[in-house]
């Protein structure tokens, strides 16, 4: 379907104020945003406007009942400066999986991709060219109907904002294996990219940080043994030359970097198994010297090398060398910057 996206541009871009070598994630926003409204059972009025604050009714249902979901993705530039999107159709589909779980309307996937393309085209000068840096894109949907009462809202906004950023972590990170709090239980919202999942993680993450850790490693809700995912990423381990990652069982995020890393590892000849993994297995592998690598994967973090995992007074050490994860990271960056052939057909180029 073809869409007519109304475009209103700002008079003068703020991009000239940006120091491209000093942009922490999520602190700087571009000039415009894409917006679309859901009313009377359909999405309408897609538009790109100057980014500004949006008046919100105090009874807007997202504020009370949490119907709010989001996506994270990145635009990069190829060696000729042409913007490209990474696996945009996967984000479009995942937003709708989240919407289904949260009783929210689906957003047309072709309009999702078209809105992104047109927004990124307008904001192309904001894309940091350095490898590992990118224009982070945040599509999200929330219930903005004013109503007090428990039911699905009938009015929503879908918005895409864009925020340039440098790489999130430059150091190896430390994880805290959490046994008191949980992120997701069977039948819950763990697979949805729902705002509430992140809200519930804030306090445990603060406690982990106070102990000197960077992020929480979430364990299953029943036995606190099975590894699920990390605060803002999925997780991989290399044991005895083979990779394992927690299998999707409805309680972990269907990470787009996760699925891409599985493809790249298999393409490089490694065996990757999606399976149930206990924290004890990882402890044993570390003690016996067979735990070779451990790393997290996510849109914002890219690939984050893990240094250690803390649990109940013990520490699981990980080797400080990550040759395979490093190689996978280089391959992903090379695909995202057009330095190697896009053999998986993941990139969408944005023409002038």
Segment interacting with ligand COI, rule: CB under 6 A, options 13-21, 29-37, 294-302, 318-326: 294-302
Q: How do 42-50 and 6-7 pair as beta strands?
A: parallel
For ligand COI, the closer of residues 216 and 291 by Cβ is 216
Segment interacting with ligand COI, rule: CB under 6 A, options 49-57, 181-189, 258-266, 293-301: 293-301
CA distance 102 to 263: 29
Residue with tokens 């359909």: 42
CA distance 161 to 142: 14
Long-range contacts of 189-192 (CB under 8 A, 24+ apart): 189/101, 189/102, 190/228, 190/250, 190/251, 190/252, 190/253, 191/97, 191/98, 191/101, 191/248, 191/250, 191/251, 191/252, 191/253, 191/254, 192/69, 192/97, 192/98, 192/101, 192/102
List the one residue from 299, 329, 331, 337 that touches ligand COI (CB under 6 A).
299
* In the complex, minimum distance from the CB of residue 224 to ligand COI, in angstroms, rounded to a whole number: 23
123 to 162, contacts with ligand COI by CB under 6 A? none
**Per-residue mark of binding to ligand COI, 50-89 (x: CB under 6 A):** ----------------------x-----------------
Sign of the alpha-carbon torsion through 208, 210, 212, 214: positive
Segment interacting with ligand COI, rule: CB under 6 A, options 50-58, 236-244, 283-291, 295-303: 295-303
* In the complex, minimum distance from the CB of residue 213 to ligand COI, in angstroms, rounded to a whole number: 16
Any bridge partners for residue 104, and if so which?
A: none
* In the complex, minimum distance from the CB of residue 30 to ligand COI, in angstroms, rounded to a whole number: 16
* In the complex, minimum distance from the CB of residue 72 to ligand COI, in angstroms, rounded to a whole number: 2
B/e letters for 192-214, b = 16+ CB within 10 Å, e = fewer, are bbbbebeeebeebbeebeeeebb
Rounded to the nearest 10°, the torsion over CA 108, 110, 116, 118 is -120
- Which of these, 199, 201, 183, lies nearest to 191 by C-alpha position? 183
* In the complex, minimum distance from the CB of residue 228 to ligand COI, in angstroms, rounded to a whole number: 15
* In the complex, minimum distance from the CB of residue 232 to ligand COI, in angstroms, rounded to a whole number: 4
Give, in order, the Cα–Cα distances in Å from 264 to each of 143, 190, 268, 291.
Answer: 37, 25, 6, 20
CA distance 306 to 173: 5
For ligand COI, the closer of residues 230 and 291 by Cβ is 230
170 to 199, contacts with ligand COI by CB under 6 A? 198
For ligand COI, the closer of residues 77 and 301 by Cβ is 301
- Confirm or reject binding of residue 165 to ligand COI (CB under 6 A): no
Q: Which residues contact 269 (CB under 8 A, 6 or more apart)?
A: none
CA distance 213 to 210: 7
- Confirm or reject binding of residue 331 to ligand COI (CB under 6 A): no
* In the complex, minimum distance from the CB of residue 300 to ligand COI, in angstroms, rounded to a whole number: 3
With CB under 6 A, what is the number of residues at the site for ligand COI?
6
Any bridge partners for residue 84, and if so which?
A: 76, 349
Segment interacting with ligand COI, rule: CB under 6 A, options 35-43, 75-83, 115-123, 297-305: 297-305
**Per-residue mark of binding to ligand COI, 244-283 (x: CB under 6 A):** ----------------------------------------
198 to 237, contacts with ligand COI by CB under 6 A? 198, 232
- Confirm or reject binding of residue 300 to ligand COI (CB under 6 A): yes
List the one residue from 298, 328, 337, 346 that touches ligand COI (CB under 6 A).
298
Which helix (H) or strand (E) covers residue 259, if one does? helix 256-267
For ligand COI, the closer of residues 72 and 128 by Cβ is 72
Q: What is the DSSP letter of 199?
A: H
* In the complex, minimum distance from the CB of residue 70 to ligand COI, in angstroms, rounded to a whole number: 7
In the complex, the residues that contact ligand COI under the rule CB under 6 A are 72, 198, 232, 298-300
């Amino acid at each position: 379907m073809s869409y007519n996206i109304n475009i209103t541009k700002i008079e003068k871009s703020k991009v000239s104020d940006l120091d491209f070598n000093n942009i922490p994630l999520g602190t700087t926003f571009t000039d415009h945003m894409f917006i679309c409204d859901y009313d009377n059972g359909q999405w309408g009025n897609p538009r790109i406007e100057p980014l500004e604050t949006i008046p919100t009714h105090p009874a807007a249902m997202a504020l009370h009942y949490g119907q709010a979901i989001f996506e994270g993705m990145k635009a990069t530039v190829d060696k000729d400066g042409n913007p490209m999107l990474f696996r945009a159709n996967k984000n479009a589909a995942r937003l709708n999986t989240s919407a289904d779980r949260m009783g929210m309307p689906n957003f047309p996937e072709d309009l999702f991709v078209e809105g992104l393309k047109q927004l990124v085209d307008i904001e192309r000068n904001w894309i940091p060219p350095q490898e590992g840096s990118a224009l982070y894109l945040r599509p999200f949907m929330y219930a903005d109907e004013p109503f007090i009462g428990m039911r699905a809202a009938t009015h929503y906004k879908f918005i895409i904002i864009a925020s340039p950023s440098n790489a999130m972590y430059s150091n190896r990170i430390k994880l805290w294996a959490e046994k008191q709090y949980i992120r997701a239980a069977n039948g819950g919202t763990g697979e949805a990219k729902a705002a509430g999942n992140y809200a519930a993680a804030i306090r445990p993450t603060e406690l982990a940080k106070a102990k000197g850790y960077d992020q929480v490693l979430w364990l299953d809700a029943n036995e606190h043994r099975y590894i699920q995912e990390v605060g803002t990423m999925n997780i991989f381990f290399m044991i005895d030359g083979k990779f394992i990652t927690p299998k999707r069982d409805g309680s972990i995020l269907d990470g787009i970097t996760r699925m891409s890393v599985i493809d790249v590892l298999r393409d490089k000849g490694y065996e990757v198994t999606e399976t149930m993994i206990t924290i004890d297995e990882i402890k044993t592998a570390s003690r016996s010297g067979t735990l070779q690598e451990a790393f997290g994967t996510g849109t914002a973090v890219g690939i984050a090398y893990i240094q250690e995992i803390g649990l109940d007074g013990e520490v699981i050490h990980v080797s400080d060398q990550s040759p395979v994860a490093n190689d996978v990271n280089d391959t992903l960056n090379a695909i995202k910057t057009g330095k190697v052939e896009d053999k998986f057909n993941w990139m969408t180029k944005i023409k002038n």
